[in-house]
């Protein structure tokens, strides 16, 4: 007769706190409670699937009912321990709340609470997915949960604690189980394969640990699947084929072509991935993961990488890519992954993400530090997409927030005649005095008419009279008194100033700069290429010069 196969997730399920992977904060609290004899009557274990909620509950039930006595280290050999391990212990009542949501089911379950345990020291109720109980079921449970008999313990587990009534939460000790780190999952998978005598490749285990997404049970289930898929072998190639990921060499090649700044080769390699029918979102995710390792290598010189990417590759790429390029590529990759669903098709979205990396990457300025006008305009295009501003391929670029000012020639050709000298004098006075907030706003909307002795006359548009308040006028008068070196008094004339106010001068300058940036942007060859090839349409309101 063929021996029944036991899944790895069941075979290697921890049977004692010492075997538990991760969750040290929960283990420490429970061990201390058991050793001091301060064991609460109700525990709530929360966390995502496969992190050990029911496993910890069963270990706790074993600690309470071991024939050697209540202990944090059950013997595992007595009848009680063995029956709990095999799910046959009569005083451990495991209930799946998802299938027993009716109030009658709960009442039937609680009818026997008052009776003493049949074999063990405690009668333990393990209710899984407790959030699935109905409101009436919770009401039936509350009284017993609050004042249970001394021989009863409640162990509740759920993936959605926010769905539990606060009346239940307040009656339980709550333990939030964390997602298990990738390194711990990979290490446990390695230990299991070594004990099973099955060959493996560390890079393949890294891929499985990443796909497990913090769940040890998912990791072991994927390992079972990989062993079957690979015919008893757990290699990287088998893992990638099973998970539908492309070989890491392809991701490394993409990064190397980015480092070389060769858009033709970059797109040619990207198009060659089509024959593998890849998940382009996953390709961008792996590229972002590699870029993270490159950034770490640039900052932490002792960083040696992991099984997926050798240290020599990280060393070479970290030296070939400027740090700002790495940050831009990473940001563009994760944004491109998010936007794949909006693209005409995943391949187009993937290629456009790579084009953004090349087109908007920061580069050194032209000789002598000058920035050509075309590049100054083109740099504004990438602010919304990548966090950097860049010109077309081969044109200089700088990070967003550091854009060069529009070309001086463009501004001078469009600038009107100089404003009257009175306006210039008032602008200089405002710049010299210490004014903030509302007082500065009031001053910037005025024009100096004249000053006669201690009286300063200002013209203020009737539409701006709402800015005048006694407190604001007093602050402005104090600032001007300090400027003139003697006390002054303000007089306002409600007329439209003939001269240009500082506020209007600032608005005019901003409009001129924006218009110059728009003209430079639209004349850039790279922008024109995008419009001709992809039918792109610039959004004028997004083109802003940044000083």
pLDDT for 473-495, tens place per residue? 988 999 998 888 889 899 998 88
Q: Do domains 8-176 and 182-243 have the same CATH topology?
A: no
pLDDT of residue 362: 66
pLDDT of residue 547: 57
SS3 state at 502: helix
The answer to whether residue 84 scores a pLDDT higher than 50 is yes
CATH class of 182-243: mainly alpha
Instruction: Work out the end-to-end distance of the chain between its first and last CA atoms, rounded to an integer number of angstroms.
Output: 81
Q: Which of 138-142, 193-197, 300-304, 524-528 has the highest mean pLDDT?
A: 193-197
511-541 pLDDT tens trace: 888 888 888 888 888 777 777 777 777 777 7
For domain 8-176, the CATH superfamily is P-loop containing nucleotide triphosphate hydrolases (3.40.50.300)
pLDDT of residue 370: 36
Return the exposure string of 54-87: e unless at least 16 CB atoms fall within 10 Å of the residue's CB, then b. Answer: bbbbbbbbbbbbbeeeeebebeeeeebbebbbee
Residue 173: which pLDDT band, with cuts at 50, 70 and 90?
very high
Q: How far is CA 245 from the centre of its chain?
A: 22
Q: Which uninterrupted H or E stretch holds 452?
A: strand 446-452
Evaluate whether 389 touches 547 at the Cβ level (below 8 Å).
Answer: no
Evaluate whether 56 touches 18 at the Cβ level (below 8 Å).
Answer: no
pLDDT above 70 as % of the chain: 86
* Separation in Å, CA 510 to CA 288, 339, 501, 516, 520: 38, 33, 14, 10, 15
Burial class (CB in 10 A: 0-12, 13-18, 19+), 484: middle
Average pLDDT, the chain: 82
Q: Where are the chain's structural domains?
A: 8-176, 182-243, 249-359, 426-499
Residue 63 or 278, more confident: 63
Listed range (175-184, 252-261, 273-282, 305-314) with the worst mean pLDDT: 305-314
Angle (nearest 5°) at CA 110 between 104 and 116 = 155
Q: Where are the alpha helices (DSSP H) in 230-345?
A: 236-243, 248-260, 263-272, 280-299, 311-320, 323-339
Q: How far is CA 164 from the centre of its chain?
A: 27
Helices and strands in the chain: count of H runs, count of E runs? 25, 10
* CA gap 339, 488 in Å, rounded: 61
SS3 state at 359: helix
The arithmetic mean of pLDDT across residues 177-192, rounded, is 92
DSSP class of residue 363? B
Fold of 426-499: GMP Synthetase; Chain A, domain 3 (3.30.300)
* CA gap 357, 467 in Å, rounded: 48
The answer to whether residue 441 scores a pLDDT higher than 90 is no
Burial class (CB in 10 A: 0-12, 13-18, 19+), 314: buried
* CA gap 382, 399 in Å, rounded: 10
Evaluate whether 137 touches 101 at the Cβ level (below 8 Å).
Answer: yes
DSSP readout, 51-73? SSHHHHHHHHHHHHH-TT-S-SS
pLDDT of residue 509: 84
Residue 101: which pLDDT band, with cuts at 50, 70 and 90?
low
Residue 180 or 388, more confident: 180
SS3 state at 493: strand
pLDDT above 90 as % of the chain: 32
Listed range (152-161, 214-223, 263-272) with the worst mean pLDDT: 263-272
Residue 420 or 353, more confident: 353
* CA gap 43, 38 in Å, rounded: 13
357-400 pLDDT tens trace: 988 876 554 333 333 333 333 333 333 333 333 333 333 333 33
pLDDT of residue 363: 59
337, 368, 367: which is closest to 350 by C-alpha?
337
Strand order in the sheet with 173-176: 92-96, 123-128, 152-158, 42-46, 173-176
Q: Which CATH architecture has domain 249-359?
A: Up-down Bundle (1.20)
């Amino acid at each position: 007769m063929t021996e029944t196969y036991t899944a790895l997730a069941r075979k290697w399920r921890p049977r004692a706190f010492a075997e538990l992977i991760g969750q040290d904060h929960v283990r420490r609290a429970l061990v201390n409670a058991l050793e001091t004899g301060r064991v609460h009557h109700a525990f709530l274990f929360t966390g995502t699937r496969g992190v050990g909620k029911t496993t910890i509950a069963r270990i706790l039930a074993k600690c309470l009912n071991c024939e050697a006595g209540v202990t944090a280290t059950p013997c595992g050999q007595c009848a009680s321990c063995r029956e709990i391990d095999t799910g046959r212990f009569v005083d451990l009542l495991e209930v799946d709340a998802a299938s027993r949501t009716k109030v009658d089911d709960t009442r039937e379950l609680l009818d026997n609470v008052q009776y003493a345990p049949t074999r063990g020291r405690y009668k333990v109720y393990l209710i899984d997915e407790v959030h699935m109980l109905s409101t009436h079921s919770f009401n039936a449970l509350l009284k017993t949960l609050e004042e249970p008999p001394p021989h009863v313990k409640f162990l509740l587990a759920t993936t959605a604690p926010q769905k539990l009534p606060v009346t239940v939460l307040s009656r339980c000790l709550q333990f939030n189980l964390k997602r298990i780190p990738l390194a711990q999952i990979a290490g446990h998978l390695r230990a299991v394969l070594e004990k099973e005598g099955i060959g493996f490749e560390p890079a393949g285990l890294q891929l499985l640990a990443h796909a497990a997404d913090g769940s040890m049970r998912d990791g072991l289930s994927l390992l079972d699947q990989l062993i079957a898929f690979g015919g008893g072998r757990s290699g990287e190639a088998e893992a990638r084929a099973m998970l539908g990921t492309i070989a890491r060499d392809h991701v490394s090649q993409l990064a190397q072509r980015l480092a070389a700044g060769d858009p033709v080769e970059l797109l040619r390699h990207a198009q060659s991935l089509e024959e593998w029918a890849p998940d382009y979102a996953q390709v961008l995710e792996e590229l972002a993961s590699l870029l993270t390792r490159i950034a770490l290598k640039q900052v932490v010189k002792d960083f040696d990488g992991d099984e997926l990417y050798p240290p020599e590759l990280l060393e070479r790429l970290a030296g070939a890519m400027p740090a700002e390029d790495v940050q831009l590529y990473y940001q563009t990759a994760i944004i491109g992954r998010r936007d794949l669903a909006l693209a005409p098709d995943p391949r187009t979205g993937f290629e456009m993400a790579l084009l953004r990396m090349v087109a908007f990457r920061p580069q050194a300025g032209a000789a002598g530090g000058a920035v050509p006008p075309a590049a100054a305009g083109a740099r504004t295009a990438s602010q919304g997409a990548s966090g950097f501003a860049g010109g077309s391929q081969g044109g200089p670029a700088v990070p967003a927030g550091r854009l060069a000012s529009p070309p001086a020639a463009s501004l001078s050709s469009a600038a009107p005649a100089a404003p009257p000298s009175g306006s210039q004098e008032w602008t200089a006075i405002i710049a010299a005095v210490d004014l903030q907030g509302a007082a500065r706003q009031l001053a910037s909307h005025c024009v100096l008419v004249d000053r006669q002795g201690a009286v300063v006359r200002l013209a203020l548009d009737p539409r701006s009279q709402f800015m005048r308040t006694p407190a604001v006028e007093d602050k402005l008068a104090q600032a001007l008194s300090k400027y003139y070196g003697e006390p002054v008094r303000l007089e306002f004339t409600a007329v439209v100033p003939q001269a240009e106010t500082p506020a209007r001068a600032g608005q005019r300058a901003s409009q001129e700069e924006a218009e110059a940036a728009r003209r430079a942007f639209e004349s850039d060859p790279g922008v024109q290429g995008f419009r001709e090839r992809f039918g792109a349409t610039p959004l004028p309101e997004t083109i802003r010069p940044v000083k």
